[in-house]
Structure 1
């Protein structure tokens, strides 16, 4: 019997994505089957059902324990790694949503099987991943075991962050990767939410430092690290760390290709089919987090706009659907205005979007910011303004502005290509911070 066309098409897409991943990374990604033994003996909390009894690791218990970063449950995990083996532990931990209420977030801790050869004890990187989408199947902790996630006909995502994560592990650095609030768990993932993302990153570090048998301890040096959505999350975490998690020994933050301002991001990219689904993810998160915005969105979005938001909520990062067919946001609204105009004349929406802006607080640690001047997705101008603002507050900031990559849009555009040149530089930068070297700064060159 022949292969059904729908399955055959999905397999072709899967092969092409594997090929793209290999072309971008220059490495062979191997799926490691079976369960990799965790580096510790985890004791199930009293009264907490085993995963088998609970039925779903991602379903939080009826009540959460006290303490941000407290581990709710953990289990050995499957991972797909390249040349560097690591023992993986999937964990659910307590974090805070955008309104500081307790919430459950899932993440993955990776213990490298090589020694740390840098200065001092083995450090921990709190890794904030790039955009994966809004569907629960897009959670990084799930993608790490699959590498590629395909939903026919063309909803596809591969775990490209494994490139940077493998490089960190090869240096002997422990890594914890957050899924962010609402990915995998029942809540709506509030995509590009400043506080929820920052909390998830900082609390992932708190959780990892509690795992027994890892060699980590409460004083372990921590680096915040992220690109794209992860760059925004790392920036938010750097801004909030001194007030939200002052006990975490953060030595610095790498902020790569961040989205700095959600509304600016929408206006800058309005009309681009490949980025249009991200606008829907943002609005879905805003509506979930700020109930006062729901009547506004219900009145302002037409049937097309509402259908786009509904479809996008279950999609990963490279979907093909209604958003691509209606790439101009003026097609989403009852008034025929673009989304930015609707936001500007709605006090509820304007206030909610203003809360997502990075650069309003001052990090207490050195920052390496990296952005391509021709970035077609996360625009450079707000990144430069963010860096200049931090400089004005006395933060040692090094802004690496890559002007060599030409403006290219599409699946592998400037934003994606700029991810790779910054890998080596960012990881040398963090090694220098761990060695206690003075942080470089080009603040004098920023107005």
Structure 2
């Protein structure tokens, strides 16, 4: 359960303003967060780029240049996963190999067709990476479809752009391609990787539908189809396929494992890694509200308003001018600059009556129905799944992620559940959410490559009642 679920909601005016109050702590906490981010970047040798001169309302990419490749055409192919266009993608980290092949491999930028949660055709962008390393696990070279964690909602935040520009600091955008590490680990094992940018992230015709399980799951499965049809790719229809994702990506990989039998029955899944999945958005909203990742509330609202315009009157009626301005601003931001701008803000400041977003959801049947429809765990996943979650995670709460594992076990799924047990590293600071990503990544990649090698796995569902 989130740290905030049992406290009464109070308006900012009603909060005591002593040194122990959330309002009093927020500037100091934000200052420590900013100092930590800048110190980390300094250690990495990153220098701030000059500002672009674009204001905060400088369009969906905050003035950042998004290549014309990301503009969808007027019409799309009929088949999901069909390629729309491709072009070479230069990797920021590329070294010459002894055999003349670049390390860790070569990359191709993709645009392919998918279908969104409303049944509409949509262009999705991403990248395919062909490793230089040989695959030694037997059979054809396998493929992993990687669903990125939270990148933001501006077009400039797409993970495929992060492979080319891992760190962007231009005065408006703070973007870090942190998923590149997982990509390179898989490439080093000889595994081909296809990365999806999700619906609306990168492709410039709509907003990213953040944490929408149908959009995310379908986009990930259709990325597999696109990779298999790419001329020159070494993966084939006989290649084993795995799914990988953490946080937003963990939700997308989990949703894709559930959707595979109905959406892509021809794709057989050898294994799925789902880390810290936001399976129950009602609980995740409680964890995010007032945390370092408070901006994710805006991305969620924006995404569901994009998917279902019938929710617009509710937003218009319940959000005040501050809240509406925050949603418009966050639609252009990446996760880094959103943290610096909105860390520790509480949704009570965004509403007309001082209610939290959680309270509004409870009062509005249509919003409750929307979140209920996003629940992951109502279907049995295809193939074995490794689900990992930090026991101290208070952003994407541990309890709701563990509940997903229990739900799947009850449906007879083969689940390897891993409770990443670390000390409490700070309330609402993102550390309890991000550190398990780092500490568990090696084990996650190893588990997935074992599945791609054809090795059997065992489920620990029978011990679930005794695990944290």
TM-score (norm 2): 0.82
> CA 1:93–1:192 in structure 2 vs 1: closer, same or farther (change >3 Å)?
same
Asked if 1 retains the 8 angstrom alpha-carbon contact of 2:182 and 2:441, the reply is yes
Q: How far apart are 1:169 and its partner, in Å?
A: 0.3
The residue that corresponds to 1:199 in the other structure is 218
Is the aligned partner of 1:308 residue 2:326? Answer: yes
> CA 1:388–1:268 in structure 2 vs 1: closer, same or farther (change >3 Å)?
same
Is the aligned partner of 1:60 residue 2:78? Answer: no
Alignment of 1:48-447 (within 5 A): 56-81=68-93, 84-152=103-171, 155-185=173-203, 186-272=205-291, 274-320=292-338, 324=342, 327-409=345-427, 413-447=431-465
Q: How far apart are 1:383 and its partner, in Å?
A: 0.9
Q: How far apart are 1:326 and its partner, in Å?
A: 7.2
Q: Which runs of 5+ in 1 are unaligned?
A: 1-11, 24-54
Distance in 1, Cα, partners of 2:342 & 2:39:
21
Distance in 1, Cα, partners of 2:104 & 2:401:
35
Q: How far apart are 1:151 and its partner, in Å?
A: 4.1
Q: How far apart are 1:21 and its partner, in Å?
A: 5.9
Distance in 1, Cα, partners of 2:425 & 2:295:
21
Q: Using CA pairs under 8 Å that are at least 6 residues apart, name the structure with larger relative contact order, 1 or 2.
A: 2
Q: Helix, strand or coil for the counterpart of 2:199?
A: coil
The residue that corresponds to 1:40 in the other structure is none
TM-score (norm 1): 0.86
What is the number of residues matched between the two proteins? 403
Q: Helix, strand or coil for the counterpart of 2:413?
A: coil
Q: Helix, strand or coil for the counterpart of 1:398?
A: strand
Asked if 2 retains the 8 angstrom alpha-carbon contact of 1:225 and 1:231, the reply is yes
Distance in 1, Cα, partners of 2:290 & 2:71:
37
Distance in 2, Cα, partners of 1:319 & 1:70:
34
Q: How far apart are 1:165 and its partner, in Å?
A: 0.7
Q: Which runs of 5+ in 2 are unaligned?
A: 1-34, 47-66, 96-102
Distance in 2, Cα, partners of 1:14 & 1:294:
35
Distance in 1, Cα, partners of 2:312 & 2:232:
46
Asked if 2 retains the 8 angstrom alpha-carbon contact of 1:280 and 1:308, the reply is yes
Q: Helix, strand or coil for the counterpart of 2:236?
A: coil
Q: Helix, strand or coil for the counterpart of 1:81?
A: coil
Q: How far apart are 1:438 and its partner, in Å?
A: 2.5
Deviations 1:74-131 (A, max 9, x none): 0111112367421110010001111232100001000001101112211000001111
Aligned-residue RMSD, C-alpha = 2.2
Q: How far apart are 1:18 and its partner, in Å?
A: 4.1
Q: Helix, strand or coil for the counterpart of 2:151?
A: coil
The residue that corresponds to 2:7 in the other structure is none
Asked if 1 retains the 8 angstrom alpha-carbon contact of 2:251 and 2:278, the reply is yes
> CA 1:22–1:156 in structure 2 vs 1: closer, same or farther (change >3 Å)?
same
